[in-house]
Amino acid sequence: MHENTSEITDIILNAKERAIKETSREPEPELTKPINWPVECVVGPGLEGAIACETRIGYVNGSKGWLIYRGYNIFDLCAYATFEEVSYLLMYGYLPSNTQLAAFKKKLVEYRSTHQTKRLLMSFPIEKMKPMAALRLGTNLMRQEFTDVDSDNYLSNVVRIIAADEDSIPMETKPRGEEHAIYEFKRQQREHMIKEDLKHATGFESCFHLLSGVASLTGAIARLRCGKMPVEHDPDLSFAGNLIFTMTGKKPTAIEERIMDVSLILHADHGMNASTFAAMVVASTLSDVYLSVGAGIAALQGPLHGGANERVIEMLQEIGNEENVPAWFEKKHVKKEKIMGFGHRVYKSYDPRALVLGPLAKYMTKENKESKRLYKIAKALEKEVVKTLGAQKRIFPNVDFYSGIVYSSMGIEADFFTPLFAVSRVAGWTARVQEYLRNNRIFRPRAMYVGPYDKEFTFIENRGRNIKT
């Protein structure tokens, strides 16, 4: 299937073997079963242990190091499938036939043209915005361009007037590196391809629109951030290949395309993680899927979640070389500081995604002195952390530890590591939102009130400096 990339498949299958071997002594999990609501579970801070819903989409088993999408283990999916197939699998529940896959790819190609959204995006100071903030803005602009969700109420004219079309006339274009181009937008000519479902912003079509659109916007934002114009997609490249191409402007090699594809598969879904939960909470209010994905992007960017991959590279740069690792780690350990790219709420064994990405990072950096230096520091740090924290607290590398080294070796800047995570996770967010909505109940947990409840009201003139609230 993947010509010239059989070495990558071997790396993945070796990781699978290692994962099976390392957790073979762990007890077989109590397999999942339908819930009879209300369910009893022990809940810790941060909703640890809480069961929020049933799902058939994916399963993470922390002691066995399992990550399963719709019944298939992650290693087999990385070895034998493509991101397009996996996205289809997550949404529909089964792997597509050739005909189904061809139709799905055609749909994604149709939906990746977000010219008008990109034009709108260019009227904002993208070069001054963090890429995740720009991406979140971009999903909002897609919502405005392609849907009618607001227009039944009071915004119909505004939406039409703001929206741009292919003939937009640049009123003033400042030179590269300066503020941003200002456009006068003509009345929108609605694209004939827009589907009914898309206009309502809730159904499957909107999910596929987002899957393709968020990738397309990430490419555009990467270019705009460094003062360059977005590049057109290449019809000969896959979803993964186009992602690299539109971000860097360079055609990826077959190996780079394949590795990006594997990385997208690895990041596509991961249980009730914070960003998935955020997306589902928004959807559960019967908001729409664009705003749900926007919430997912917002939650993902934090350093305890998807933002960790960017911090890992900063940390490796700060360490400087592999000889510095033991002293650097000791200092952090004594101060009880967290090491980015390690630890996980669920995994108490190696994160299977790190088992794949670690060797891929090694493979990708073997010919580049600077990337190889970073990889060596990472490897030395992994050894040190696992020796101490692995033994004491079952803390191991997670998905974010090696992904940045892989992306850097493809020429991708550190502030785009988290947007790449988002591009892939759109598949999981939207699949889980759609699944949850079939049996929707608004999310509404409680907080335990521990404050006072019998205070006497104090009028403002009587509130002295010393009165505590």
Task: List, by residue number, the catalytic residues.
Answer: 344, 400
Q: Are 234 and 245 in contact (CB under 8 A)?
A: yes
Nearest approach, Cβ of residue 302 and ligand CMC (Å):
9
For tokens 């010509």, name the residue: 3
**Binding-site member from 91, 289, 297, 339 for ligand CMC (CB under 6 A):** 339
Helix (H, G, I), strand (E, B) or coil at 171: strand
In degrees rounded to 5, what are phi and psi of residue 72?
Answer: -100, 135
**C-alpha radius of gyration, the chain, whole number:** 24
Nearest approach, Cβ of residue 314 and ligand CMC (Å):
13
Q: Report if residue 67 touches ligand CMC, rule: CB under 6 A.
A: no
For the four alpha carbons of 313, 317, 323 and 329, in that order, the dihedral sign comes to: negative
Taking alpha carbons only, the member of 357, 247, 261 closest to residue 12 is: 357
Nearest approach, Cβ of residue 334 and ligand CMC (Å):
12
Q: How far is 355 from 137, CA to CA, in rounded Å?
A: 34
Nearer to ligand CMC, 128 or 338 (CB): 338
Q: How far apart, in Å, are the Cα atoms of 438 and each of 280, 281, 367, 433?
A: 12, 14, 50, 9
Q: How far apart, in Å, are the Cα atoms of 176 and each of 91, 127, 225, 241, 411?
A: 41, 10, 10, 27, 21
Site size with ligand CMC, rule: CB under 6 A: 21
Helix (H, G, I), strand (E, B) or coil at 390: helix
Nearer to ligand CMC, 52 or 304 (CB): 304
Q: How far apart, in Å, are the Cα atoms of 171 and each of 123, 145, 264, 436?
A: 11, 21, 39, 46
Residues 353, 355, 361, CA angle at the centre, nearest 5°?
95
Q: Contact letters (x/-) for ligand CMC, 248-277, by CB under 6 A?
A: -------------------------x----
Count of C-beta atoms within a 10 Å radius of residue 104 = 19
Nearer to ligand CMC, 203 or 296 (CB): 296
Which part of the chain contacts ligand CMC (CB under 6 A), choosing from 1-9, 125-133, 210-218, 338-346?
Answer: 338-346
Q: Which residues touch 196 (CB under 8 Å, ≥6 apart)?
A: none
Nearer to ligand CMC, 273 or 434 (CB): 273
Q: How far is 198 from 146, CA to CA, in rounded Å?
A: 7
**What is the distance between the terminal CA atoms of the chain, rounded to a whole angstrom?**
67
Of all residues in the shown chain, the one whose CB is closest to ligand CMC is 343
Residues 273-312 that bind ligand CMC (CB under 6 A): 273, 304-306, 308
Nearest approach, Cβ of residue 105 and ligand CMC (Å):
28
Nearest approach, Cβ of residue 437 and ligand CMC (Å):
24
Q: Contact letters (x/-) for ligand CMC, 7-46, by CB under 6 A?
A: ---------------------------------------x
Which part of the chain contacts ligand CMC (CB under 6 A), choosing from 51-59, 184-192, 336-344, 354-362?
Answer: 336-344
Nearer to ligand CMC, 109 or 389 (CB): 389
Q: Contact letters (x/-) for ligand CMC, 383-412, by CB under 6 A?
A: ------x---x-x--xxx------------
Nearest approach, Cβ of residue 387 and ligand CMC (Å):
13
Which residues lie near ligand CMC (CB under 6 A)?
46, 273, 304-306, 308, 336, 338-345, 389, 393, 395, 398-400
